Structure 1
């Protein structure tokens, strides 16, 4: 079989869906390569900072690594702004959706909310509430997100910070994304990802 015959999903046969599942499994083997390509494209993304978006991502991951963070958090720091090009107003949620099947729930929650938590640094310049994140103050991962933003994200715009190349993080990326998606032993207990 080269293609399914159905034109509506409800008309597909088991044989066709097994065929499609095999194709999808094969395609998914290239996920890390597609993520690496997407990260490389950040080199020519949003400008105006002293570092490129790729350098910011690399520096965020390098800061997480230097801080002793585990691979879940380091890879999350690397990918946290991957959605800037395609989802500029909800980039945090896009990045969280990418990592969610592969990392512990705490890390997904942090990445999902980091855009809101970052507002503490600049929202006042636009007449917005810089403390909007405080609505999550009682959440068990609130401080993790505060720490992520303070230590890894907002500090990662320094052109003089020693930052390794993307290839340094590739083995970690491959290990994380080689995990069985949605493995409860990895993800643990999830919390709602409300905005």
Structure 2
């Protein structure tokens, strides 16, 4: 299946970062690419699987795919980047990558509902996006999130996401983390039911 050629997918991901990765990460003092690299580096430092390292690298790829301005949050627009990103990635990657990405905003809403200390540490930009994303979960939403088989991975991804906002923080280059992307893609067996 040529559309699942790992080399072509890596090229497309690299292109997304080249085109929009230098945009500022909404309301923070770093770029989208720096944010992605810091999150992936944190996952790697934590000894996570290649799939979760890739999820950390690509968790905000929806920001690089949508057509909104990078400051759309300040315009009152929830870009639904977690859904856009997961939908785009699900064509190529296993659920070990795509589900934590799809749930990383839900993980923020869950943490804000269940951990006041966490909520108090959110950056101003994250507080603003939280409002647009629906605010902290109610008890029914909390329970639904807890029953997801991917909730723990999504919560770990959320921690790396929150920590990955440090200006001038040294990480390996994008090419280094794209080797993880390549590895995960090569482990995929082509779907025969497409």
Same fold (TM over 0.5): yes
1:52 aligns with 2:31: yes
SS in 2 for 1:44: coil
C-alpha distance in 2 between matches for 1:28 and 1:107: 15
- Decide whether the 8 Å contact of 1:102 with 1:181 is kept in 2: no
- Equivalence map 1:8-47=2 (5 Å): 25=3, 29-40=7-18, 41-47=20-26
Q: Give ranges in structure 1 of 5+ residues lacking alignment.
A: 1-20, 185-195
- Identify which range, 122-131 or 81-90, moves more after superposition: 122-131
Aligned counterparts of 1:142 and 1:29: Cα–Cα separation in 2: 30
Report the TM-score, using the length of structure 2 for normalisation.
0.68
Alpha-carbon offset, residue 47 of structure 1: 4.7
Task: Tell me: CA distance 1:124–1:71, structure 2 relative to 1, closer, same or farther (3 Å).
Answer: closer
Distance 1:45 1:182, change over 3 A: farther
Report 1 or 2 for greater relative contact order, CA contacts < 8 Å, sequence distance ≥ 6: 2
Q: Is it true that 1:143 corresponds to 2:152 in the alignment?
A: yes
Change (3 A) 1:27 1:71: closer
Does the residue aligned with 1:139 lie in a helix, a strand or coil? coil
What SS does structure 2 have at the residue aligned with 1:110?
helix
Give how far 1:82 is off.
0.9
**Aligned equivalents of 1:110, 1:144: Cα separation in 2:** 6
Range 154-163 or range 69-78, more displaced: 154-163
- Give yes or no for the alignment of 1:114 onto 2:104: yes
Deviates more, 1:173-182 or 1:53-62: 173-182
Match of 1:176 among 168, 177, 184: 184
Unpaired runs of at least 5, structure 2: 67-77, 113-118, 120-126
> Alpha carbons of 1:182 and 1:93: their partners in 2 closer, same or farther (altered >3 Å)?
farther
> Which of 134, 137, 161 is matched with 1:131 structurally?
137
For these two proteins, the number of residue pairs brought into alignment is: 161
CA distance in 1, matches of 2:26, 2:82: 19
Distance 1:181 1:62, change over 3 A: same
Match of 1:163 among 167, 171, 174: 171
Pair 1:136–1:37, CA change in 2 (3 A): same
Q: What is residue 61 of structure 2 aligned with on the other side? A: 82
User: Post-superposition shift, 1:66?
Assistant: 0.4
Q: Distance in 2 between matches of 1:176 and 1:124?
A: 31
Structure 1 residues 47, 153: CA separation in 2 closer, same or farther (over 3 Å shift)?
closer
TM-score (norm 1): 0.68
